[in-house]
Amino acid sequence: MDATKLMVWIDQDLCTGDGICEEIAPDVFEARDDGLWVVKESANHFGTAIVFDAGEGPGHGPEGSRGVARVPDSQIEDVIEAAEECPGECIMIEPYDAQIMADRGV
């Protein structure tokens, strides 16, 4: 598993749906069926995949500020670039928060 110093989430209310984030960091950002983008933790970085798309069942998590994904250290520069390029200014990067992971049961 990758180490992680940062976490990231998207405010879907501000997302313009252009997909620039996924072009820059496809391991962290993914399109949802409604044309908005969400964050994810990829299995190749964390062993288990989870997409924070408000979907039902295993492998899905809440959207918005409640859907906070760990950023693999190898993806930090790309995630920061994505946030800088995001036209909606809706990619929120935060320090790693152990309490969020404890609440998630990880």
- The pair of structure tokens assigned to 7 is 């976490």
CB-nearer residue toward ligand SF4: 7 or 86: 86
Q: How far is 63 from 13, CA to CA, in rounded Å? A: 11
Only one of the segments 47-55, 73-81, 88-96, 97-105 lies at the binding site for ligand SF4 (rule: CB under 6 A); that segment is: 88-96
Q: Listing from the earlier edge strand, what are the strands of the sheet with 29-31?
A: 29-31, 37-41, 50-51
Among 3, 5, 17, 94, binds ligand SF4 (CB under 6 A): 17
Rule CB under 6 A: say whether 10 interacts with ligand SF4.
yes
CB-nearer residue toward ligand SF4: 35 or 47: 35
DSSP string, 49-82: -EE-SS-SSTTB---GGG--EEEPGGGHHHHHHH
**Binding residues among 50-69 for ligand SF4 as defined by CB under 6 A:** none
Question: Residue numbers of the site for ligand SF4 (CB under 6 A)?
Answer: 10, 15-21, 29, 37, 86-88, 90-91
